[in-house]
Amino acid sequence: MTKEQFAEALAAQGISLTERQKEQFDHFFRLLVEWNEKMNLTGITEEGQVYVKHFYDSITPAFYFPFDQVKSVVDIGGGAGFPSIPLKICFPHVKMTIIDSLNKRMGFLQHVASELGLEDVHPVHGRAEDRGQEANYREKFDLVVARAVARLNLLSEFCLPFAQPKGHFIALKGADITPELNEAKKAIKTLGGKTRKVETFQLLEEAGERNIVIIEKVEATPKSYPRKAGVPAKKPLV
C-alpha cells in the first residue's frame, strides 16, 4: 500500500486527511523504523506493510464508532502507539492517554508526540490492573481501546474499569472472534459492560480478517476489579 492509497482508503470511509496529517503519518513511520533499531517496537517495518497492518488497522474502529463525538480515550497496552497514535492523528481533538507496562516505550511515545506536534498525548507507565484502581484513571474515559493485547475475558478486566458509565470499550481483534466472545460473556457482564456490536471485515491487501468488538459500559465496575497485578492472567474470569 502506498501513502496515496492509504489516504484514498481512509477517504472512502469518510476520513479525509489533510496534507499535515499525511506528513504526520510519514514522520511516524520513519520514527518507528529508527527507534525499532534500538528497541523492539514491531516486527513489521516495510513501509507498505506498516501503512496497512499498523496505521490503517489502528483506524478501523472509527469506521464503526463516532470518534468525532469522543473527548477522552485511553489505549491499554499501547506500547508502540497502536492504535492510539494513528487515531490521534486522524482525530486531533481527542485527549489521548496511553498506558503500558514497559517504561522505555514511554520515551518513544513522548518523542513521537513532540516530533509530530500532537497535543494532549499522555503516555503513562504502569500495569492496567494498578492504574485501573487509581482515582485519576478509574472510570474517567469516554472510550477505552486495546489492540491484540490478550483474550477478551482478560482484556475486559484490564479495560472496562477505565470507561466511565455510558462510555465504551473497543477491542481490536483478529479472526474467529466467536469463541472469545462466548468465553468473555460473564466477564463483560461482571465488569459492568454489555456487548453492543461486533464488526467483521477483511483488512486491505489480503492482510486477514479483523473484528471490532464494541462494548458499552452500562454499570459501574465493582470496586474489587481489576484484581491485583498478575491475578487476572492467572485466574481469568470465565
Specify binding-site residues for S-adenosyl-L-methionine.
77, 82, 128-129, 147
Kindly give the residue spans of alpha helices, DSSP state H, lying in 84-211.
84-90, 103-116, 128-131, 152-159, 178-190
Can you point out the beta strands (E) in 35-102? 72-76, 95-100
Among the listed residues 20, 74, 26, the one whose alpha carbon sits nearest the alpha carbon of residue 47: 26
d(CA 102, CA 149): 13
d(CA 123, CA 82): 12
d(CA 123, CA 174): 25
d(CA 174, CA 194): 20
Q: Between the CA atoms of 42, 4, 202 and 74, what dihedral angle is there, to the nearest 10 degrees?
A: 50
226 preceded by a cis bond (ω within 30 of 0): yes
Pick out the residues of the known binding site: 77, 82, 128-129, 147
- Residue 30 CB contacts under 8 Å (≥ 6 apart), including other chains: none
